[in-house]
Structure 1
Amino acid sequence: MKKWIDIIQSIAAIFSILLNVVLIILIIKKSPKELGTYKYLLLFIAWFEIFYSLLDVILSPIAFSHDSIFLMIVSVKNSIFSKDVLFLLDSIFCAFFGVSMGMFAVNFIYRFFVATGSERLKSFKGAWIICWLMIPCIYGGIWGLLCYSVLGPTVEINEQIRTDILLIFDWSVEDITYLGPYVYQKQHNGSYIIDINSIIAIFIAFGIIVSSLIAIFYCGIKCYMNLEILMPDNKSNRFKNLQSQLFFALVTQTLIPVILLHLPISLIFIFTLMEKNLGSLSAIVSVTIALFPMLDPLPTIFIVKSYREAIFIFEKWFSHPQEDVNAPQMRHDVKD
């Protein structure tokens, strides 16, 4: 199983990097002027997903659930990095979970400000946009530091997972590093002790998820309701249509990590609190985590018309290099 997960993670990382590089080029070269400072938010997402994919293929992390234990495991065998370095990288990888939650929340807030013509849109201009970009970094920093400081390897977890890790992955606990909560710690006399650090960590993770989803759903619903009604009358149809395209691209782009990343991890946290043993089934999350940055650029590339047309022009040129693809009919008129 581990072999197939490694293959999927490697293929997904390659396509993720290629697609996000293409998106970065399109944002820089083909963005309509009406896009404004939103292009910096799109660039932030694309660069984030490139680094996410690189770290994913370097670590090849495996999600593992055993009773009230949920871990992100990294093998130290055949790695050029020491166990301490891999543990730090594993913590950073988990921090990216928090970054992604804050990242899409900020994007929905921006779209809401645009759709309603809010004066607060000015806070995204100039150096002020750095303050907004710090929000996902703070989300990620909180979760990453928490993982690194209180959710690392312990003797108790080693003893609980030793047999399963050997049977499922053919690893010894000395061959891995990991981080994650162990909620109900079994004692030698058969009793259990609730680990407060694990409980706190899980509820902080849920807090990050819930706060982000509240912002996404509130701004998303308000944006949809007001996109046509409150859009300033002095704006052109071109501007309004572009904002509609960007909104629906963002909705689709956000559904991908929610379905592939946040929902599976949230469910595993719930099963962990319920002390339900998922075993090797939890490794499926490792695949969905790898697929997320590969699929996420596609909505922006194919829903935003100026980017879509640029891709089609390149495809025509590649298929028929002798033809003139710069025909007059290929105007970047955003009316779809």
Structure 2
Amino acid sequence: MYYQLTSKTYCYYLSQIMKWDSFVDVIQKISAGTSIFLNLVLTFLIIKKSPKQLGSYKYLMIYISWFEILYSIIDVVISPIMFSDSSLVVVMIHKTAFLNRKSYWISLILVAIYCACFGTSMGMFGIHFIYRYLVSNGSNYLKTFDDYRIIFWMLFPVASGSIWGSICYFMLAPSDAMNQRLSKKVMLTFGWEIEDVAYLGPYFYQIQPDGSYIIDISSVLGVGIAWLFLFSSLIAIFYCGIRCYLNLTQVMNIKTNDKNVSKNFKNLQAQLFNALVTQTAIPVILMHIPLSIVILFSYIDKDLGTLSGISSITIALFPALDPLPSMFIIQNYRKTIFGLFKITKVISINKK
């Protein structure tokens, strides 16, 4: 497929995207390496340095750390790019970057898995807030985290992500209308043939041959169902977060006979809550807000073009930054890390 482009124009677009691709690729690789290292360190701290009062919550913390490692690996392997053109917005990958051109269905599945990770992330943080609320409230349901039933809690984010990925794969799949809309823009912007691109996403208002528009019901329903899951998770987070804060405030004002135990318990609960709030704010700011903006602009038929690709960078940063709140807010972990820095500093001084 060829287009009437001057060599000057083609070279300009190609040079610009080569710079952008190189920058995104560097960010994804650095973020993936940082994420794997920090999450492995956090896993070690959780296993070896967690206070006894942490209980089964440490399994949830390990769970999210390993999810973020997986997320980083997927992100760096498939190198997804988000792109929008008016009412069309897609997450796409260049198939030849890692697979044979004939493996189109595998490429689509990988894009769907990447989308599924988005849904899994919010479901996962929702479960964490529910757990913290049950602890602060002293609920009997807390027992469900102390035996085999914790597996069902852990499966909830997986189910949420699976539904999200399935919606993208079946309801937001490529079509002839999307190919026609994207083909020229993809060539102009990235220098890629549309046949070499695997993508998923909504096309809200599809242009007809006579210039009229029709609303794509599949896109509207698909995005609507996906965001219903997202908003349900956000409502659970805000509700449990507010109630947890109120309960925690009451606990801080309670006086008991054993002041040492009370103080330790209060400090730990405050640390865990602060870490969780910060840890949840990171994906909301880096993942959900950028994607929401892109979807909103597409819904009102406004073109963001390559600016929508900024979300590819912010999403790549998420798993690299997310372990930091737990590592530096929870006192036991922070002391261990600073202790290692001191030992390293002493060794380096002695060598000199």
- Indicate whether the TM-score tops 0.5: yes
After superposition, give the CA deviation of every residue in 1:1-52 in whole Å (9 maximum; x if it has no partner). Answer: 1121111111111101111111111111111111000001101110000000
* Structure 2 residue 155 is the aligned partner of structure 1 residue 155: no
Q: Which amino acid aligns with 1:248?
A: N
Give yes or no for contact 1:117–1:230 (8 Å, CA) kept in 2.
no
* Structure 2 residue 215 is the aligned partner of structure 1 residue 194: yes
- 1:78 deviation in Å? 3.5
Alignment length, in residue pairs?
324
After superposition, give the CA deviation of every residue in 1:312-335 in whole Å (9 maximum; x if it has no partner). Answer: 1111122223899xxxxxxxxxxx
Q: TM-score, normalised by structure 2?
A: 0.89
Q: Indicate which of 293, 297, 301 corresponds to 2:327.
A: 301
- 1:141 deviation in Å? 0.9
Aligned counterpart, 2:40: 21
After superposition, give the CA deviation of every residue in 1:179-229 in whole Å (9 maximum; x if it has no partner). Answer: 011111110011111111100111112211110111111111111111031
Structure 2 residue runs without a partner (length 5+): 1-19
Give yes or no for contact 2:167–2:226 (8 Å, CA) kept in 1.
no
- In 1, the alpha carbon distance for the partners of 2:334 and 2:138 equals 27
Secondary structure at the counterpart of residue 107 of structure 1: helix
Secondary structure at the counterpart of residue 148 of structure 2: helix
Secondary structure at the counterpart of residue 41 of structure 1: helix
* Structure 2 residue 78 is the aligned partner of structure 1 residue 59: yes
Q: Which amino acid aligns with 1:41?
A: L
Aligned counterpart, 2:290: 264
Give yes or no for contact 1:45–1:103 (8 Å, CA) kept in 2.
yes
- In 2, the alpha carbon distance for the partners of 1:69 and 1:147 equals 14
Which structure has the bigger radius of gyration? 2
Give yes or no for contact 1:116–1:230 (8 Å, CA) kept in 2.
no
Alignment root-mean-square deviation, CA: 1.6
Aligned counterpart, 2:64: 45
Aligned counterpart, 1:70: 89
- In 2, the alpha carbon distance for the partners of 1:295 and 1:212 equals 21
- In 2, the alpha carbon distance for the partners of 1:223 and 1:99 equals 23
Equivalent residues in 2 for 1:152-301 (5 A)? 152-230=173-251, 236-301=262-327
- In 1, the alpha carbon distance for the partners of 2:59 and 2:41 equals 15
- In 2, the alpha carbon distance for the partners of 1:52 and 1:17 equals 10
Aligned counterpart, 1:331: none
Q: TM-score, normalised by structure 1?
A: 0.93
Give yes or no for contact 1:206–1:266 (8 Å, CA) kept in 2.
no
Give yes or no for contact 1:63–1:283 (8 Å, CA) kept in 2.
yes
After superposition, give the CA deviation of every residue in 1:76-98 in whole Å (9 maximum; x if it has no partner). Answer: 12423522212111101100111
Aligned counterpart, 1:8: 27
Give yes or no for contact 2:173–2:200 (8 Å, CA) kept in 1.
yes
Secondary structure at the counterpart of residue 152 of structure 1: coil
Q: Deviation above 6 Å: which 4+ runs of structure 1?
A: none
Q: Which amino acid aligns with 2:208?
A: Q
- In 2, the alpha carbon distance for the partners of 1:68 and 1:262 equals 19
- In 2, the alpha carbon distance for the partners of 1:79 and 1:102 equals 30
- 1:230 deviation in Å? 4.5
After superposition, give the CA deviation of every residue in 1:145-174 in whole Å (9 maximum; x if it has no partner). Answer: 111112122111111011211121111111
- In 2, the alpha carbon distance for the partners of 1:263 and 1:157 equals 25
Q: Which amino acid aligns with 1:275?
A: D
- 1:238 deviation in Å? 0.7
- In 2, the alpha carbon distance for the partners of 1:319 and 1:59 equals 39
Q: Which amino acid aligns with 1:74?
A: I
After superposition, give the CA deviation of every residue in 1:237-283 in whole Å (9 maximum; x if it has no partner). Answer: 11221111000000000000000001111121111110111001000
* Structure 2 residue 306 is the aligned partner of structure 1 residue 319: no
User: Greater share of helix residues, 1 or 2?
Assistant: 2
Q: Which amino acid aligns with 1:286?
A: S
Secondary structure at the counterpart of residue 126 of structure 1: coil
Q: Which amino acid aligns with 1:132?
A: W
Secondary structure at the counterpart of residue 98 of structure 2: coil
Give yes or no for contact 2:205–2:213 (8 Å, CA) kept in 1.
yes
- In 1, the alpha carbon distance for the partners of 2:322 and 2:291 equals 18
Structure 1 residue runs without a partner (length 5+): 325-336
Secondary structure at the counterpart of residue 181 of structure 1: coil
- In 2, the alpha carbon distance for the partners of 1:164 and 1:69 equals 11
- In 2, the alpha carbon distance for the partners of 1:116 and 1:55 equals 37
